Amino acid sequence: MNGVLLVDKPSGPTSHDVVASVRRILREKRCGHTGTLDPFATGLLMLCLGRATRLARFLSGADKTYTATIHFGYATDTYDRTGKPMGETTDHEPDPDSLARILEGFVGPQMQQPPAFSAKKLGGKRSYQLARQGESVSPKPVEVHIRSLELLALEGCRAHVELTVSSGTYIRSFAHDVGEKLGCGAHLSELRRTRVASFSVSEAISIETLGSKGVLEAFLSPSDALRELPRVRVGAEAAKRLAHGHAPRWEELLAPDARVGSARFVRVFGPLDELLAVGAPDVDQGIVRPVVVWAGAPIE
């Protein structure tokens, strides 16, 4: 199976556990996810299978949408419900207007402090490994972007929000930071990933049904998995050269998407509308540099 499988991850297993289950059920050794979810979280995992693992880099950087529940009253060392409380475990009901103003201030680009219990590397070790050993760790802040943020409901000490964020954003850190701004402490109690780029969790399949039915309904071809990328098409001669790593010239592109000139990556199709490669447009040089060559040379 060479493509991308959309899986609705349940709460409990790690993302690696889900990958291992898919490998076993589908008997496909080459399998990897394009963006991890914490064990307690649920929702959309995009898994690249077979030769499509080469395409993971073009999917891992996509924006992601989540629904999250923030519990106000106390923080935890992991910034979520699985951690140890930092202080008295009390509940706090925030003022709705104050909360709305604080949430509005989080929209846009910002520097975010990753949790100590994260996979960030510090001196060659994972941050969470050092934190579990009792060491005081502080991963370097990273630039993230919260594209949109909506308060769905406020029920006592719990706020339900929906947010779309850039890749690498920690929703746990966001929840912790909101609590800091309110001065009451907070942690993430629920998290569900509902969308990756234009792919919805409603298109995904559960692990329970993976081994019985419905796999093809949640399985994407490499071309469909990369549908966010603009497309170009080349003729037979350019396709033959591309199969050997030669970059198509700008004048060889047939009816290119209008977004090609400003795109970081594009899908390159052959004369039979088959996916040949993923390329990087170089407007100055007038070529599309092949990054991953997917298909071989056309058959005569």
Angle at 226 between CA 40 and CA 54, to 5 degrees: 75
**Which residues touch 7 (CB under 8 Å, ≥6 apart)?**
18, 22, 44, 45, 46, 47, 204, 205, 206, 207, 210, 218
Structure tokens belonging to residue 23: 């490998």
Structure tokens belonging to residue 105: 């201030």
Cβ atoms of residues 281 and 248 within 8 Å: no
Query: Which residue among 8, 38, 80, 177 is the active-site one?
Result: 38
**Which residues touch 256 (CB under 8 Å, ≥6 apart)?**
230, 231, 232, 233, 266
Which residues is 45 bridged to in the sheet?
7
40 three-class SS: coil
Nearest to 112 by CA among 189, 166, 73: 166
To the query of whether residue 38 is one of the catalytic residues in this protein, the response is yes
Which residues is 33 bridged to in the sheet?
47
Burial class, 165, CB count within 10 angstroms (exposed 0-12 / middle 13-18 / buried 19+): buried
Enumerate the active-site residues. Answer: 38
